[in-house]
């Protein structure tokens, strides 16, 4: 072999390496483009939520609910409906950060067992995250192939959302029936509401998510404006948005999304799966690697049944705390508020709740 001929394989290898690197860079860019809007949106919603919390919006709503007639069962159901509404409008991560303390406070004010309220806070956040694109980061990631306005999305997944919320409430009332049956004195303090930029921001964020196909940047901009107008301190903003955690999960999502675009069988896994298979694959992947990276991997190529995939990604995390960012935030917030959440108890409850809620939500959603 001549020296020139010997150089040919080396040259070919070099060209192949350059091409592979370019493809990887292209795939990484595609994965990043698919993932970043979801994280930008949740950062904006968390900022709006932080301002609203300072104004007493969540505490005032919680105490208003707690003052309704009825016993502990009524209190828990009403507070879970409140959390479902906050989750739908302001994202499940915002809900667990700001509403979990409200539920714990209500239980302690009533002198009742706080466990139903503690676990209800995280289970309802996941279950109620089906209604709008901004309710869950995974919704935006999966729908990057097919962005739709919030009203259209809600019309398609509204029945599944109603079922998931109802099943979650019914399950918690049944699972904690003994604790909830204990009669306690009703003593609820009044919390003043001080409306301001955060209160207005909630309404504005809801309108943006409902009306726009791509609400991420407008909502992030709204969050920054609301945060500035509310004079949120830098430390408070950092504690609320937890950028290190968000960027870390974004990095994992981009890495796995790049992998999903380069591993052939991952791309075809949900392209050819049926509705039920898509939902259960998504639920299992969520528990294994968290639902945000799982969404980027499974939606690297357009899935055959995107909304069934969403049901698995949104409801599947109720299996285990590894399933969602919201569960990790819930652990952090619960401990900071003096509660003692148990990862084992979470799973023991979740392995009963999740299959029931997922199956009934799939039936309610119908064919799509």
Residue 81 confidence (pLDDT) above 50: yes
What was the pLDDT predicted at 15? 42
What backbone phi and psi angles, to 5 degrees, belong to 5? -65, -35
Greater confidence, 176 or 337? 176
In this predicted model, what pLDDT tens digit does every residue of 106-157 receive, in sequence order?
A: 888 778 899 999 999 999 999 999 998 888 888 888 887 777 888 888 999 9
In this predicted model, what pLDDT tens digit does every residue of 26-67 receive, in sequence order?
A: 777 777 776 777 778 778 878 888 888 888 887 777 777 777
What was the pLDDT predicted at 70? 75
Greater confidence, 99 or 81? 81
Is the pTM higher than 0.85?
no
- Three-state SS sequence of the chain: CCHHHHHHHHHHHHHHHHHHHHHHHHHHHHHHHHHHHHHHHHHHHHHHHHHHHHCCHHHHHHHHHHCCCCCHHHHHHHHHHHHHHHHHHHCHHHHHHHHHHHHHHHHHHHCCCCHHHHHHHHHHHHHCCCCCHHHCHHHHHHHHHCCCCHHHHHHHHHHHHHHHHHHHHHHHHHHCHHHHHCCCCCCCCCCCCCCCHHHHHHHHHHHHHHHCCCCHHHHHHHHHHHHHHCCCCHHHHHHHHCHHHHHHHHHHHHHHHHHHHHCHHHHHHCCCCCHHHHHHHHHHHHHHHCHHHHHHHHCCCCCCCHHHHHHHHHHHHHHCHHHCHHHHHHHHHHHHCCCCCCHHHHHHHHHHHHHHHHHHHHHHHCCC
């Amino acid at each position: 072999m001549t020296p020139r001929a010997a150089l040919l394989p080396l040259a070919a290898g070099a060209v192949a390496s350059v091409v592979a690197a370019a493809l990887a860079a292209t795939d990484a860019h595609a994965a990043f483009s698919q993932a970043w809007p979801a994280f930008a949106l949740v950062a904006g919603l968390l900022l709006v939520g932080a301002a609203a919390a300072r104004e007493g919006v969540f505490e005032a709503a919680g105490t208003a609910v707690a003052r309704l007639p009825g016993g502990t069962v009524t209190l828990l159901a009403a507070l879970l409906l409140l959390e479902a509404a906050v989750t739908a409008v302001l994202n499940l991560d915002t809900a667990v950060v700001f509403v979990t303390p409200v539920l714990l406070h209500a239980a302690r004010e009533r002198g009742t067992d706080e466990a139903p309220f503690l676990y209800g806070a995280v289970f309802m956040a996941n279950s109620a995250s089906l209604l709008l694109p901004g309710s869950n980061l995974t919704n935006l990631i999966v729908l990057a192939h097919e962005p739709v306005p919030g009203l259209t999305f809600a019309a398609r997944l509204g029945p599944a959302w109603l079922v998931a919320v109802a099943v979650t409430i019914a399950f918690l009332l049944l699972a904690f029936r003994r604790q909830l049956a204990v009669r306690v004195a009703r003593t609820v303090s009044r919390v003043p509401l001080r409306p301001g930029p955060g209160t207005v921001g909630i309404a504005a964020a809801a309108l943006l998510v409902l009306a726009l196909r791509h609400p991420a940047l407008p909502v992030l901009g709204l969050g920054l404006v609301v945060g500035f107008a509310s004079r949120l301190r830098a430390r408070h903003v950092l504690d609320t948005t937890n950028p290190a955690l968000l960027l870390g999960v974004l990095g994992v999502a981009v890495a796995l999304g790049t992998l999903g675009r380069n591993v052939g069988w991952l791309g075809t896994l949900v392209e050819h799966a049926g509705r039920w298979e898509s939902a259960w694959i998504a639920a299992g992947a969520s528990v294994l690697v968290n639902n945000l990276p799982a969404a980027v991997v499974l939606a690297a190529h357009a899935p055959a049944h995107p909304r069934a995939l969403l049901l698995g990604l949104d409801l599947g995390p109720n299996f285990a705390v590894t399933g969602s960012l919201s569960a990790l935030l819930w652990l952090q917030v619960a401990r900071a508020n003096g509660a003692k959440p148990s990862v084992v108890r979470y799973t023991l409850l979740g392995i009963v709740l999740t299959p029931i809620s997922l199956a009934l939500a799939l039936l309610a959603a119908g064919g799509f």
